[in-house]
């Protein structure tokens, strides 16, 4: 199975990004029952393939009978060769058709199953909240969706078929053999379980070797990746020789481990044929004596040799099959670990919520700590925001201001009754509608590698040009877009042009503004935008957001002063609140900040003008 | 330099234009490339004795494997079970005599003797096969290890101009996956040899017994070959479609995972699920198509042996009846036929491996053959043990691409121990000067001098040992903090590393980390702040103790307290060293002895702070602006989308987007 080997190399590539847990052990086999609900869907075709594979083995079992009849007819001096030959041709033809049919059906089931699982995984992951994504990195989920689903597919397509083949081949061969010569068959049976047991034991011993080998490959991969990513540093520090030396060590270790695994496999390949040799030797010795004593014919003697292939072939494969089975089971376990993860945010809307939103937000005694964190991110936050108000949050990095905004759109799960929109708990609104009415623009300006148009209209791609331009105008992005040769059709990101940090930020801003939500929450959306442009955008927003609730996070007093009320957050608590003037009078943190920044802000504006003149 | 140079601008010093697209192209290994094997032999040569033994073992094992049916067919059936039919003409390679010899010596019946012989031969065959396998694996693994290290070494020496254009992921897979493919190929080849040797031995044996019957058997070969050919033709396009659909599927999933919050906030779950479903569906469709052909082909292969058996019974039986061959010979044929068909079928399966390996081999050798490297002097000048630290740039002209000059006639000098600040907007060519001094790029002779020696006369390694470079982006290698300072340099002791950290004020925060200097840092080191990374970068370069310092100050905004710490560290770092600093902060500039103003690749002003202020030129203006925010300067200085100073813009992006390059590789079917 060269394909399988290649896939392993592929998964080794991911070893660097998401460490593979384990290669699989027999304890994992229990996880396979998780696949039943998915397989049950295909039980009709599955039964058909089982029948198909049974018939195939049955046909296989008849071929030695034809050989026997031909050989016997010769030894008896009345040669009848055409019938056996034609018989074989007929059987082969039927077997061929049946084999194509069954194998194709089986592979189709495996492909369809991986399709189903992938679909399920995607749907499941999309519903997850922050605690899930804290636990599973992108690389980890990718690895599950690629490698583990492939393992399951291989399990269904190959391991399952091999098991069927094993059962059918052995039983049919034994039945036919018994019908030819019961005594010889009884002599042949005892070594079989011994062979199977040894194959089983040895392949079990092989697992750790394979695991070691995969880990070592992961080390080689991450070594190269890291080295090449930092090649400038290495060259600048003149450390190439040392790096080559170290890589040589890593590579040698890897080669040694592969060699050890290969040596063990070679050992298995010595032991297994030696074990199975008992069978032909029994046939030659005991069978031969039966021929001499006239109890069986030479034809039967020959047929036994042919049945031998049907017996030993699958028995020798048992090791590989079991390893496929256990790796598949481990893959299943990893897959269902993710699929079993309950989305923390549940969409359980109640009917009594209002149809249209005014924008009155109440936060009542909200405390929150992130899963796994030992200190709380928010402590007893209470804010009442009237519809149409503009609110600003200020505070140090990590003070909890982003968490407040996230709580409004249920990116984190808030306790019941702590966050209310127009008097109703936000948990009562349908999640989709809540997030539509309360638009949060995230701090991290993430754009999809798609056109600007599709990025700005991400929530609803069917929008016309006009609202798009209105939004990009409001975000001061229109001028930049007009400079691109492809305008709105410009592809950004990995496959397109690279936008500057400021442009990205303004594009994400436009993506939020286009939704004209009753409540708009902006998480530090101007950090990469210069003060002048920011002022321009804020002025526009004042017009656009008239009468609508707007919340924003900023580090700049010049931004916050536009708000009706300003909240200073520190250590998850509100430490100051009030209007710009009130806070200045109070002479606290905000006033200090203002004193430091106002001076700087003036300079920055002057600086901007001067630099502008200079460059022109 | 003379005025003449001024009058006629010297030709652009730029590397030859190369076609890097070869590194992005998906090599398919369409052609059967025998040269590849010839080249691979070079790496196998050191292990030729082991390879030779391996071949010898496989020949022996194959011979024994073929003898087993001879024992059952010609000895047991013909001689022992049907002594009446023996013609004595069948070539049995002395197996009959051997059996009777064993029987005579041991006193057992010939039948038991045949059993003993059979058992002995199986044992011998298995033992020899074992030797074959481990000798083969040992030589192949060692050869490929050498190839891997050689490939890695050439990659270590590739200059920046190479890495500017070629994605790391593309090169990386050559060192990992492609070598693995070659491993598959070589061991697969060993297996194939292991199957083909018995094939020919069996063929020879069969030919000796019955040429006409052998011809019938041989008939199966072209049939299998034709089937394989058609299968390959049919599958080629489908495999490509599958590969593309899988990579589309994975890319889409990955992007959605990275931007999951945007997806959820935009309520796009349903729409995206539909889109993913479509991609998933496409993939399923192609996979279904592929298995249609695949099952037809593989089932055919599996049936081939049985068809041949039918033919042997038909024709061979007739020959037995006419006493042309013995019954044992016919049964021998039946038993050998499986041995004959297997390698042919195996060859068909190996084709995929073979072609993939061929493409891998091409990619590996393409990277090894890529002769782009830094110009090294033929007769390098040995640097004195102690440098004065005088640097001079004389009429430096340089550009990354033809016709796009980045530095135009730049001349300046740094006196021993002097600190020079280079200032200028983004795209002015500041970073390029650093890259040239670090010898990341080739440039013309007689342009840059260190202590009066042309830089091109110094081995790049010697030079880099004397000039310490601090790049803006501090690259963290996974390992401990101490490892990251020492960079595994054997010349630096752990004590020196810690001393360096103490000097640049990094000791404090390092000790506060979970395990102090033994704290493990991840490659993308999110556990360190910008300021901390900057201090670690200082410690790293200080530990190496270079005589000259070239430093690209980080632009990222840092809070006031951290900035003070960094300024102090910088002061200690540059103490007593000739230093060139690309400065973004006023304080840094004030630390320096002289200031060079670069604008659009031209030196506009050069002198002390007082001189330049008096001049009331660009520096004066910049000084008025206080250099507080590099980001704004960059934004205003144009270059909104593209940073002209950087040879290829996406470089920085590649480093930062958190996507392992491997993810972009399509998942091969």
Residue B176: is it exposed, middle or buried by C-beta count within 10 angstroms (0-12/13-18/19+)? buried
Query: Which chain A residues contact residue B144 at CB under 8 A?
Result: 255
List, for residues A216-259, the tens digit of each pLDDT value. Answer: 877 787 788 778 877 777 887 778 888 888 888 888 888 888 88
Tell me, yes or no, whether A132 and A247 share the same domain.
no
Statement: residue B628 has pLDDT above 80: no
Q: Do A16 and B662 touch (CB under 8 A)?
A: yes
Distance CA B232, CA A337 (A): 39
**Mean pLDDT calculated for residue range B241-247:** 79
Q: Do B163 and A232 touch (CB under 8 A)?
A: yes
C-beta of residue A64 within 8 angstroms of C-beta of residue A283: no
Q: Residues B609, B612, B618, CA angle at the centre, nearest 5°?
A: 120
Q: For residue A384, is it within any domain?
A: yes
How far A379 CA lies from chain B's nearest CA (Å)?
24
Distance CA A421, CA A414 (A): 13
Hey, what domains does chain B have and what are their CATH numbers?
34-158+165-210+356-370 (1.20.1560.10), 391-473+544-660 (3.40.50.300)
The SS3 of residue B411 is strand
Least confident of A347-356, B106-115, B292-301: A347-356
Query: Which chain B residues contact residue A231 at CB under 8 A?
Result: 155-156, 158, 163, 168
pLDDT at B481: 86
E strand or H helix at A425, and its extent? strand A424-425
CA distances from A115 to A119, B248, B280 (A): 6, 14, 7
Q: For residue A14, is it within any domain?
A: no
How far B274 CA lies from chain A's nearest CA (Å)?
10
Q: Do A411 and B265 touch (CB under 8 A)?
A: yes
**Mean pLDDT calculated for residue range B353-365:** 78
Domain count, chain A: 3
Phi, psi of A497 (to 5 degrees): -80, 155
Query: Which chain B residues contact residue A284 at CB under 8 A?
Result: 71-72, 76, 111, 114-115, 118
The SS3 of residue B107 is coil
Statement: residue B359 has pLDDT above 80: no
Q: For residue A113, is it within any domain?
A: yes
- Among the partner-chain residues B141, B175, B265, the one whose CB lies closest to the CB of A259 is B141
Q: Do B134 and A262 touch (CB under 8 A)?
A: yes
On the CB side of B535, how many CA atoms lie within 13 Å of its CA? 27
Statement: residue B551 has pLDDT above 80: yes
C-beta of residue A110 within 8 angstroms of C-beta of residue A45: no
B525 CB contacts (<8 Å, ≥6 apart)?
B476, B533
Distance CA B85, CA A484 (A): 92
CA A213 to chain centre: 23
Task: Give the global pTM.
Answer: 0.71
Location of structure tokens 């199986």: B122
Query: Which chain A residues contact residue B117 at CB under 8 A?
Result: none
Statement: residue B652 has pLDDT above 70: no
- Under the banding of pLDDT at 50, 70 and 90, the label for residue A579 is confident
**Mean pLDDT calculated for residue range A596-602:** 56
Q: Do B276 and A67 touch (CB under 8 A)?
A: no
Q: For residue A506, is it within any domain?
A: yes
Can you read off the two tokens belonging to residue B470?
Answer: 């601090």
How far A366 CA lies from chain B's nearest CA (Å)?
21
C-beta of residue A583 within 8 angstroms of C-beta of residue A569: no
Q: Is B427 left (phi over 0), alpha (psi -120 to 50) or beta?
A: left
- Among the partner-chain residues B320, B425, B665, the one whose CB lies closest to the CB of A74 is B320
Tell me, yes or no, whether A163 and A223 share the same domain.
no
> Which residue on chain B is closest to A271 by alpha carbon?
B126
Strand partners, B549: B468, B579
Tell me, yes or no, whether A451 and A571 share the same domain.
yes
Q: Do B317 and A81 touch (CB under 8 A)?
A: yes
pLDDT at B665: 29
Phi, psi of A586 (to 5 degrees): -60, -30
Query: Which chain B residues contact residue A16 at CB under 8 A?
Result: 660, 662
Q: Do A115 and B283 touch (CB under 8 A)?
A: yes
Residue with the bigger pLDDT between A1 and B605: it is B605
Q: Do B632 and A608 touch (CB under 8 A)?
A: yes
pLDDT at A14: 37
Q: Do A88 and B313 touch (CB under 8 A)?
A: yes
Statement: residue A196 has pLDDT above 70: yes
- Among the partner-chain residues B76, B145, B264, the one whose CB lies closest to the CB of A288 is B76
pLDDT at B159: 80
CATH, residue A515: 3.40.50.300
How far B72 CA lies from chain A's nearest CA (Å)?
7
The SS3 of residue B316 is helix
Out of A342, A376, A409, a domain closes at A342
Q: What is the secondary structure of B18-47 as a DSSP string?
A: --THHHHS-----S--HHHHHHHHHHHGGG
Q: For residue A601, is it within any domain?
A: yes
How far A157 CA lies from chain B's nearest CA (Å)?
11
Distance CA B639, CA A565 (A): 38
B164 CB contacts (<8 Å, ≥6 apart)?
B400, B647, B648, B651
Write out A577-601 in H/E/C secondary structure.
Answer: EECHHHHHHHCCHHHHHHHHHHHHH
Four-point Cα dihedral B588, B589, B593, B595, nearest 10: 150
List, for residues A347-405, the tens digit of each pLDDT value. Answer: 777 777 777 878 788 888 888 877 766 677 788 888 888 888 888 888 766 677 788 88
How far B309 CA lies from chain A's nearest CA (Å)?
8
Tell me, yes or no, whether A197 and A154 share the same domain.
no
C-beta of residue B593 within 8 angstroms of C-beta of residue B418: yes
Can you read off the two tokens belonging to residue A120?
Answer: 């399920």
pLDDT at B53: 92
How far B623 CA lies from chain A's nearest CA (Å)?
10
Statement: residue B192 has pLDDT above 50: yes
Q: Tell me, what DSSP letter sits at residue B644?
A: T
pLDDT at B348: 66
- Under the banding of pLDDT at 50, 70 and 90, the label for residue B66 is confident
Query: Which chain A residues contact residue B360 at CB under 8 A?
Result: none
Exposure class string for B279-316: b at 16+ Cβ within 10 A, else e = bbebbbebbbbbbebbbbbbbbbbbbbbbbbbbbbbbb
C-beta of residue B392 within 8 angstroms of C-beta of residue B413: yes
CB atoms within 10 A of CB B45: 10
C-beta of residue A242 within 8 angstroms of C-beta of residue B154: no
The SS3 of residue B550 is strand
Q: Do B263 and A277 touch (CB under 8 A)?
A: no
Q: Do A92 and B302 touch (CB under 8 A)?
A: no
Mutate to test the interface with A, among B164, B172, B265 (most CBs of A within 10 A): B265
**Mean pLDDT calculated for residue range A3-15:** 36
Q: Do B273 and A123 touch (CB under 8 A)?
A: yes
Query: Which chain A residues contact residue B658 at CB under 8 A?
Result: 138
Query: Which chain B residues contact residue A236 at CB under 8 A?
Result: 438, 440, 464, 469, 471
Tell me, yes or no, whether A173 and A187 share the same domain.
no
CATH, residue A158: 1.20.1560.10
Q: Do A246 and B488 touch (CB under 8 A)?
A: yes
Tell me, yes or no, whether A550 and A588 share the same domain.
yes
Q: Do B258 and A138 touch (CB under 8 A)?
A: yes
Q: What is the mean pLDDT of chain B?
A: 76
Query: Which chain A residues contact residue B438 at CB under 8 A?
Result: 235-236
Q: For residue A13, is it within any domain?
A: no
Residues in chain B: 669
C-beta of residue B538 within 8 angstroms of C-beta of residue B506: yes
Q: What is the bridge-based pairing of β-strands B578-582 and B419-423? A: parallel
- Among the partner-chain residues B256, B268, B469, the one whose CB lies closest to the CB of A459 is B268
pLDDT at B653: 32
Residue with the bigger pLDDT between B585 and A432: it is A432
pLDDT at A595: 67
Four-point Cα dihedral A82, A88, A89, A95, nearest 10: 160
CB atoms within 10 A of CB B516: 14
Q: Do A280 and B118 touch (CB under 8 A)?
A: yes
A11-15, A85-89, A274-278, range with greatest mean pLDDT: A85-89
Distance CA A3, CA B181 (A): 11
End-to-end CA distance of chain B: 61
Q: Do A107 and B171 touch (CB under 8 A)?
A: no
Query: Which chain A residues contact residue B153 at CB under 8 A?
Result: 240, 244
- Among the partner-chain residues B258, B273, B628, the one whose CB lies closest to the CB of A122 is B273
Tell me, yes or no, whether A585 and A460 share the same domain.
yes
Exposure class string for B219-238: b at 16+ Cβ within 10 A, else e = ebbeebeebbeebbebbeeb
**Mean pLDDT calculated for residue range B400-411:** 81
How far B394 CA lies from chain A's nearest CA (Å)?
23
Q: What is the secondary structure of A197-265 as a DSSP string?
A: HHHHHHHHHHHHHHHHHHHHHHHHHHHHHHHHHTHHHHHHTT-HHHHHHHHHHHHHHHHHHHHHHHHHH
Distance CA A218, CA B176 (A): 9
pLDDT at B631: 39
Distance CA B568, CA A558 (A): 31
Mutate to test the interface with A, among B57, B185, B299, B337 (most CBs of A within 10 A): B299
Location of structure tokens 């028995």: A315
> Which residue on chain B is closest to A301 by alpha carbon?
B77
A519-523, B318-322, B352-356, B473-477, range with greatest mean pLDDT: A519-523
Tell me, yes or no, whether A261 and A402 share the same domain.
no
Statement: residue B290 has pLDDT above 50: yes
Distance CA B106, CA B104 (A): 6
Distance CA B190, CA A85 (A): 36
Tell me, yes or no, whether A383 and A436 share the same domain.
yes
Range of the domain at A256: 182-295
Location of structure tokens 């024709």: B315
List, for residues A400-427, the tens digit of each pLDDT value. Answer: 778 888 888 887 788 888 888 888 888 8
- Among the partner-chain residues B118, B633, B642, the one whose CB lies closest to the CB of A281 is B118
Exposure class string for B386-416: b at 16+ Cβ within 10 A, else e = ebebbbbbbbbbbbbeeeebbbbbbebebee
- Under the banding of pLDDT at 50, 70 and 90, the label for residue B654 is very low
Distance CA A319, CA A399 (A): 57
Residue B641: is it exposed, middle or buried by C-beta count within 10 angstroms (0-12/13-18/19+)? middle
ipTM value: 0.77
C-beta of residue A363 within 8 angstroms of C-beta of residue A407: yes
Q: Do A266 and B469 touch (CB under 8 A)?
A: no
Least confident of A46-60, B91-105, B453-467, B639-653: B639-653
Distance CA A268, CA A202 (A): 7
Distance CA B501, CA B493 (A): 13
pLDDT at A3: 38
Least confident of A112-116, A481-485, B380-384, B624-628: B624-628
Tell me, yes or no, whether A172 and A198 share the same domain.
no
Q: For residue A19, is it within any domain?
A: no
Q: Do A285 and B299 touch (CB under 8 A)?
A: no
E strand or H helix at B404, and its extent? strand B404-414
B336 CB contacts (<8 Å, ≥6 apart)?
B66, B69, B202, B205, B206
- Among the partner-chain residues A66, A284, A436, the one whose CB lies closest to the CB of B118 is A284
Statement: residue A451 has pLDDT above 90: no
Tell me, yes or no, whether A188 and A287 share the same domain.
yes
Query: Which of A315, A333, A265, A254 is CA-nearest to residue A24?
Result: A333
> Which residue on chain B is closest to A136 by alpha carbon?
B257
Mutate to test the interface with A, among B113, B117, B192, B257 (most CBs of A within 10 A): B257
Query: Which chain A residues contact residue B158 at CB under 8 A?
Result: 231
Distance CA A316, CA A4 (A): 18
CA distances from B65 to A277, B125, B202, B273 (A): 12, 7, 9, 57
Q: For residue A611, is it within any domain?
A: yes
**Mean pLDDT calculated for residue range A202-216:** 77
Tell me, yes or no, whether A54 and A148 share the same domain.
yes
């Amino acid at each position: 199975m060269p394909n399988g080997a290649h896939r392993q190399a592929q998964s080794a590539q991911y070893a660097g990004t998401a460490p593979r847990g384990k290669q699989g052990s027999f304890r994992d086999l229990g996880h396979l029952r998780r696949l039943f609900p998915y397989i049950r869907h295909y039980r009709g075709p599955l039964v058909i393939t089982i029948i198909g594979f049974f018939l195939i083995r049955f046909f296989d079992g008849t071929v030695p009978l034809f050989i026997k009849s031909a050989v016997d007819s010769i030894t008896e001096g009345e040669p009848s060769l055409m019938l056996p030959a034609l018989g074989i041709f007929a059987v082969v033809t039927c077997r061929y058709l049946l084999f194509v049919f069954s194998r194709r059906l089986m592979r189709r089931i495996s492909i369809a199953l991986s399709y189903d699982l992938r679909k399920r995984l995607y749907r499941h992951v999309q519903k997850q909240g922050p605690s899930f994504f804290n636990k599973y990195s992108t690389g980890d989920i990718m690895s599950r969706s690629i490698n583990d689903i492939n393992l399951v597919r291989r399990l269904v397509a190959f391991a399952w078929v091999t098991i069927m083949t094993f059962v059918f081949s052995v039983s049919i061969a034994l039945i036919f053999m018994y019908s030819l010569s019961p005594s010889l068959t009884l002599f042949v049976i005892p070594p079989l379980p011994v062979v199977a047991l040894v194959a089983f034991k040895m392949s079990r011993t092989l697992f750790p070797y394979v695991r070691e080998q995969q880990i070592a490959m992961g080390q080689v991969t991450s070594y190269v990746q890291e080295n090449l990513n930092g090649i400038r540093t290495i060259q600048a520090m003149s450390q190439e020789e040392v790096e080559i030396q170290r890589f040589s060590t890593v590579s040698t270790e890897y080669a040694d481990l592969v060699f050890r695994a290969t040596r063990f496999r070679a050992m298995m390949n010595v032991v297994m044929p030696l074990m199975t040799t008992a069978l032909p030797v029994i046939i030659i010795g005991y069978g031969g004596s039966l021929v001499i004593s006239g109890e069986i014919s030479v034809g039967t003697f020959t047929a036994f040799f042919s049945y031998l292939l049907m017996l030993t072939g699958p028995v020798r494969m048992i090791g590989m099959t079991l390893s496929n089975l256990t790796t598949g089971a481990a893959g299943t376990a990893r897959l269902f670990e993710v699929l079993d993860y309950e989305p923390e945010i549940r969409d359980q809307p109640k009917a009594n919520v209002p149809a249209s939103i005014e924008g009155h937000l109440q936060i009542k005694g909200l405390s929150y700590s992130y899963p796994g964190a030992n200190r709380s991110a928010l402590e007893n936050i209470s804010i009442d925001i009237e519809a149409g108000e503009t609110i600003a949050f200020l505070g140090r990095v990590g003070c909890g201001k982003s968490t407040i905004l996230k709580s409004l759109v249920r990116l984190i799960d808030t306790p019941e009754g702590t966050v209310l929109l127009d008097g109703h708990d936000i948990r009562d609104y349908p999640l989709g509608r809540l997030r539509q009415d309360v638009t949060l623009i995230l701090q991290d300006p993430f754009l999809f590698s798609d056109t600007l148009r599709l990025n700005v209209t991400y929530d609803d791609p069917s929008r016309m040009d006009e609202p798009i331009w209105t939004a990009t105008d409001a975000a001061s992005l229109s001028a930049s877009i007009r400079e691109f040769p492809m305008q709105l059709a410009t592809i950004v990101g990995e496959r397109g042009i690279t936008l500057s940090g400021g442009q990205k930020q303004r594009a994400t801003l436009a993506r939020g503004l286009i939704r004209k939500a009753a409540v708009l929450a902006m998480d530090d959306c101007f950090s990469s935008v210069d003060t002048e442009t920011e002022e321009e955008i804020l002025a526009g927003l004042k017009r656009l957001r008239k009468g609508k609730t707007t919340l924003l996070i900023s580090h700049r007093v010049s931004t916050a002063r536009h708000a009706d009320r300003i909240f200073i957050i520190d250590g998850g608590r509100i430490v100051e609140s009030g209007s710009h003037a009130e806070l200045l009078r109070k002479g606290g943190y905000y006033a200090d900040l203002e004193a430091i920044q106002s001076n700087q802000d003036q300079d920055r504006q002057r600086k901007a003008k001067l630099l502008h003149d200079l460059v022109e | 330099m003379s005025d003449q140079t001024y009058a006629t601008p010297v030709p652009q010093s730029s590397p030859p234009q190369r076609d890097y697209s070869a590194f992005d192209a998906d090599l398919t290994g369409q052609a059967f490339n025998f040269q590849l094997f010839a080249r691979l032999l070079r790496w196998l040569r050191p292990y030729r004795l082991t390879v030779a033994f391996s071949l010898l073992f496989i020949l022996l094992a194959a011979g024994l494997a073929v003898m087993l049916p001879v024992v059952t067919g010609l000895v047991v059936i013909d001689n022992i079970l049907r002594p009446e039919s023996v013609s004595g003409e069948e070539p049995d390679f002395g197996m009959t005599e051997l059996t009777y010899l064993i029987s005579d010596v041991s006193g057992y019946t010939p039948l038991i003797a045949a059993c003993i012989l059979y058992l002995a031969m199986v044992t011998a065959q298995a033992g020899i096969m074992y030797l074959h396998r481990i000798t083969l694996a040992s030589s192949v693994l060692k050869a490929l290890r050498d190839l891997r290290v050689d490939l890695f070494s050439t990659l270590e020496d590739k200059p920046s101009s190479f890495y500017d254009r070629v994605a790391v992921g593309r090169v990386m897979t050559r060192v990992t996956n492609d070598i693995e493919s070659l491993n598959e190929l070589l061991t697969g080849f060993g297996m194939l040899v292991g199957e083909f040797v018995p094939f020919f031995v069996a063929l020879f044996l069969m030919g000796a017994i019955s040429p006409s019957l052998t011809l019938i058997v041989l008939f199966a070969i072209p049939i299998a070959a034709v089937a394989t050919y058609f299968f390959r033709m049919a599958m080629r396009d489908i495999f490509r479609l599958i590969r593309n659909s899988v990579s589309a599927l994975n890319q889409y999933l990955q992007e959605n995972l990275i931007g999951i919050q945007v997806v959820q906030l935009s309520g796009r779950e349903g729409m995206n699920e539909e889109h993913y479903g479509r991609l998933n569906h496409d993939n399923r469709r192609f996979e279904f198509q592929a298995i249609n052909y695949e099952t037809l082909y593989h089932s055919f292969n599996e049936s081939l042996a049985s068809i041949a058996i039918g033919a042997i019974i038909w024709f061979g039986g007739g020959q037995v009846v006419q006493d042309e061959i013995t019954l044992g010979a016919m049964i021998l044929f039946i038993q050998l036929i499986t041995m004959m068909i297997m390698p042919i079928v195996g060859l068909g399966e190996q084709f995929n491996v073979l072609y993939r390996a061929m493409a891998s081999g091409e990619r590996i050798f393409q990277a090894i053959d890529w002769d782009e490297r830094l110009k090294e002097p033929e007769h390098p000048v040995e640097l004195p043990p102690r440098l004065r630290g005088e640097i001079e740039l004389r009429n430096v002209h340089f550009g990354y691409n033809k016709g796009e000059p980045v530095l135009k006639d730049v001349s300046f000098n740094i006196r021993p121990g002097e600190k020079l600040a280079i200032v200028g907007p983004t795209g002015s060519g500041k970073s390029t000067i650093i890259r040239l001094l670090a010898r990341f790029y080739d440039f013309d002779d007689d342009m840059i001098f260190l202590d009066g020696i042309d830089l091109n006369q110094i081995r790049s390694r010697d030079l880099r040992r004397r000039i310490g470079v601090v790049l803006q982006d501090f690259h963290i290698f996974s390992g401990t903090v101490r490892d990251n300072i020492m960079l595994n340099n054997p010349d630096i002791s752990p004590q020196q590393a810690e001393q360096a950290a103490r000097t640049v004020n990094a000791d404090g925060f390092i000790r506060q980390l979970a395990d102090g200097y033994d704290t493990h840092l991840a490659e993308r080191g999110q556990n360190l702040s910008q300021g901390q990374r900057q201090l670690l970068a200082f410690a790293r370069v200080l530990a190496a103790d270079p005589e000259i310092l070239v430093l690209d100050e980080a632009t990222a905004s840092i809070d006031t307290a951290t900035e003070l710490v960094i300024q102090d560290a910088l002061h200690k770092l540059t103490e007593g060293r000739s230093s060139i600093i690309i400065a973004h902060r006023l304080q840094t500039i004030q630390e320096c002895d002289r200031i060079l103003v670069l604008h659009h690749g031209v030196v506009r002003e050069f002198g002390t702070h007082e001189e330049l202020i008096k001049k009331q030129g660009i520096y004066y203006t910049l000084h008025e602006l206080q250099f507080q925010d590099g980001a704004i300067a960059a934004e205003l200085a144009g270059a909104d989308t593209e940073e002209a100073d950087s040879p290829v813009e996406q470089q920085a992006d590649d480093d930062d987007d958190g996507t392992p390059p491997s993810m972009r590789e399509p998942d091969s079917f």
